[in-house]
């Protein structure tokens, strides 16, 4: 299955990388077509993150992965172009004043080196750019239950981070991660000098039920003004997935965030999911 760097801990960052290969190379092609019944004159869809264009054929993402499983040193680079990369560019706080830098860095979805510390329970240390631990939905469509992303992904959560990540499977059922990053969605420019921290834990309570909790906190730029001084921001995310039958799954995700900017702002949201797998190649999902 595809690796998921979001949704709590990140101990599966090399799940889709061949073991023993000097360099594993693989690609992803994501193409979509979309028709909006409102037929907007702008040909753009509101309330969408990535699939924002009302056109019969769009390049969602063309991505190349180069990776080596850590043994004990490894690396991973996911680079691509398309509407997903354009979304990364729009999310970058550097886009307002340094559009060329934001455009260039948007082509790198992830790029990090890894060192495995050989303890009884191996500790994975990653340094570089990687997907956020926040939220149930991932940056890539193919690892999500739905092709589009929900409003929590689009409005309530960060997308990427640059910094340090330490992950460990504490038991066969519990895994945890700690993060120290350069703010929300920033690579180098317009970050907060590595002053954001985060902690994540996931628990596979039973074969059917998995729970995750993530808290991210630190000084950030005001949501509506990159020139404003840094203010403290905190986002708490929790989700659960439940699969009562082999072909049936449910999930719920909750976000609550606060920011001291502009006299104090807050946001909150809940998303619910249901998924039925009809065959090995077809599944139907609902999201609210």
Helix axes 83-91, 99-106, angle to 10 degrees: 140
With 0-12 / 13-18 / 19 or more C-beta atoms within 10 angstroms meaning exposed / middle / buried, residue 18 is: middle
Residues 153, 151, 29, 128, Cα dihedral to 10° = -10
Q: Which two tokens stand for residue 100?
A: 């060329």
Reply yes or no on whether the pLDDT at 287 is more than 70: yes
* Mean pLDDT, range 170-192, rounded to an integer: 93
H-type alpha helices, the chain = 83-91, 99-106, 151
What is the rounded distance in angstroms from the CA atom of residue 269 to the CA atom of residue 116?
Answer: 36
Percent of the chain predicted with pLDDT > 70: 96
DSSP 39: -
β-pair partners for 273: 251, 287
CB 137 within 8 A of CB 159: no
Q: Give residue 227's pLDDT.
A: 73
Q: Give residue 209's pLDDT.
A: 94
Going from the C-alpha of 171 to that of each of 55, 121, 157, 174, 176, the distances in angstroms are 47, 8, 28, 5, 10
In tens, the pLDDT along 218-266 reads 999 887 776 778 999 999 999 999 999 999 999 999 999 999 988 899 9
What is the rounded distance in angstroms from the CA atom of residue 67 to the CA atom of residue 149?
Answer: 27
- What is residue 87's three-state secondary structure? helix
Reply yes or no on whether the pLDDT at 2 is more than 70: no
In tens, the pLDDT along 194-208 reads 999 999 999 999 999
């Amino acid at each position: 299955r595809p690796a998921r760097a979001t949704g709590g801990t990140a101990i599966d960052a090399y799940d889709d990388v061949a073991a023993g290969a000097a360099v594993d190379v693989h690609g992803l092609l994501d193409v979509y077509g979309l028709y909006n019944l409102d037929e907007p004159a702008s040909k753009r869809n509101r309330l969408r993150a990535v699939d924002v264009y009302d056109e019969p054929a769009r390049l969602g993402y063309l991505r190349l992965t180069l990776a080596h499983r850590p043994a004990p040193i490894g690396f991973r680079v996911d680079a691509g172009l398309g509407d997903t990369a354009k979304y990364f560019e729009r999310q970058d706080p550097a886009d307002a004043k340094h559009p060329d830098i934001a455009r260039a860095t948007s082509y790198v979805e992830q790029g990090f080196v890894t060192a495995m510390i050989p303890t009884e329970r191996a500790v994975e240390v990653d340094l570089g750019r990687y997907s956020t631990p926040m939220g149930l939905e991932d940056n890539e469509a193919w690892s999500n239950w739905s092709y589009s992303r929900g409003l929590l992904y689009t409005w309530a959560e960060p997308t990427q981070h640059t910094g340090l990540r330490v992950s460990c499977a504490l038991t066969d059922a519990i895994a945890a991660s700690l993060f120290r990053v350069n703010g929300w969605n920033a690579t180098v420019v317009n970050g907060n000098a590595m002053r954001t921290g985060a902690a994540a834990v996931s628990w596979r309570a039973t074969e059917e039920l998995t729970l995750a909790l993530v808290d991210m906190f630190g000084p950030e730029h005001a949501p509506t003004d990159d020139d404003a001084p840094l203010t403290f921001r905190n986002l708490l995310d929790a989700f659960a997935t439940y699969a009562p039958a082999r072909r049936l799954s449910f999930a719920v995700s909750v976000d609550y965030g606060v920011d001291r900017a502009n006299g104090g702002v807050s946001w909150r949201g809940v998303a619910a999911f249901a998924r039925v797998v009809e065959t090995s190649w077809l599944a139907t999902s609902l999201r609210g």
